[in-house]
Structure 1
Amino acid sequence: MADVMSIKPLGRDEEAFLRALGKVMTLLPRIVDADMLEEHPISGTEYMVLVHLSEAPHNQMRMSELANMCGLSLSGMTRVANRLESQSLVLREKSPDDGRSWLAILTSTGRTRLEQAWPTNLASMRRHVFSRLEGCDIAAAAEVLERIARC
């Protein structure tokens, strides 16, 4: 553990950045969920699970890997997968590689739901994120966020 006396306090701009980042991390998922659920029976988190599966080889991923990609705990991923499975959007099967881990597999119904929900998610992102980044270097902002995410 670091010695508190040797840590430089945050400056005003650093403190403002952390508070704003915290607000975004808390509020944006709620806003996106509201937009998604207004038009489709899936949340923003469920949408992102479908996106990751649609991009994976053979539309399937280990549950642990999917949880990591979505920033969820394994138990949180299991709850999301249960909801998606109950709607026939995802299927879960034991991994043929080791028989211990589980695979999440995107179904054709899941792909259809993803395609239907995509315009709503895109509109939400444009409205709540990109409309506020006008004049910003988006590539540089993405790099900064990636560096933070690599903690």
Structure 2
Amino acid sequence: MSLAPLNADEERLWRSLLRIVATLPRLLDEDLVRSTGVSLSEYVTLMNLSEAEDQEMRLTELALAAGLSLSRISRLVEDMRVRGLVTKRRAAADTRGFIATLTPAGLERLRDAYPTNLASARRRVLDHVAPRAVSGSGQVLAAIAEGMDDDSDDI
């Protein structure tokens, strides 16, 4: 691990990334809530469930996929269960775990929110990236995200 000071380009990248990480989720959430009543956390949860096998996931896996803590995803799934967007049941193999399943109402809610999420993603991010840079940028951000999944505490 290098402790060399950041050069000007690295510093600009780092500070811009910090600003995006701190600001973008709030802006995307505001766009979704204002237009659809769906929060960003709800949208990401519904999206992950819609893409999962049998449209269901263990809460621990869903928390990781959604970037939320287990306690936060548990509260969110319970709220969504009450509203009929998901169901929740104990895992058969491990009775300590729970599985969330997308309901038809949840899928409809996701479909209704998709155009707003797409417009927000384009306006807030993709419209600022040259088309020729999208692939390379996506690879870089994916590598950073995968590195976070390593759960490494090496600082």
Question: Is the TM-score greater than 0.5?
Answer: yes
C-alpha separation in 2, matches of 1:90 and 1:123:
25
Query: Would you say 1:27 and 2:23 are equivalent positions?
Result: yes
Determine what percentage of the aligned residue pairs are the same residue: 38
Aligned counterpart, 1:39: 35
Q: Give the letter aligned to residue 22 of structure 2.
A: T
Q: Deviations over 1:96-126 (max 9, x none)?
A: 1222210011011101101111111111111
C-alpha separation in 2, matches of 1:138 and 1:78:
34
C-alpha separation in 2, matches of 1:49 and 1:70:
6
Aligned counterpart, 2:96: 100
CA drift of 1:150 comes to 2.0
Query: Would you say 1:64 and 2:76 are equivalent positions?
Result: no
Q: Give the letter aligned to residue 84 of structure 1.
A: M
TM-score of the superposed pair, with normalisation by structure 1: 0.91
**How many residues of Structure 1 are paired with residues of Structure 2 in the alignment?**
147
Aligned counterpart, 2:152: none
Give 5+ residue unaligned stretches, structure 1: none
Give 5+ residue unaligned stretches, structure 2: 148-155
Residues 45 and 136 (structure 1), Cα distance of their counterparts in 2 relative to 1, 3 Å cut: farther
Which of these residues, 13, 19, 22, is aligned with residue 17 of structure 1?
Answer: 13
Which of these residues, 48, 55, 63, is aligned with residue 44 of structure 2?
Answer: 48
Aligned counterpart, 1:140: 136
Query: Would you say 1:84 and 2:80 are equivalent positions?
Result: yes
For the residue of structure 1 that corresponds to 2:88, the secondary structure is: strand
Q: Give the letter aligned to residue 95 of structure 1.
A: A
Q: Give the letter aligned to residue 119 of structure 1.
A: P
Provide the aligned C-alpha RMSD in A: 1.4
TM-score of the superposed pair, with normalisation by structure 2: 0.89
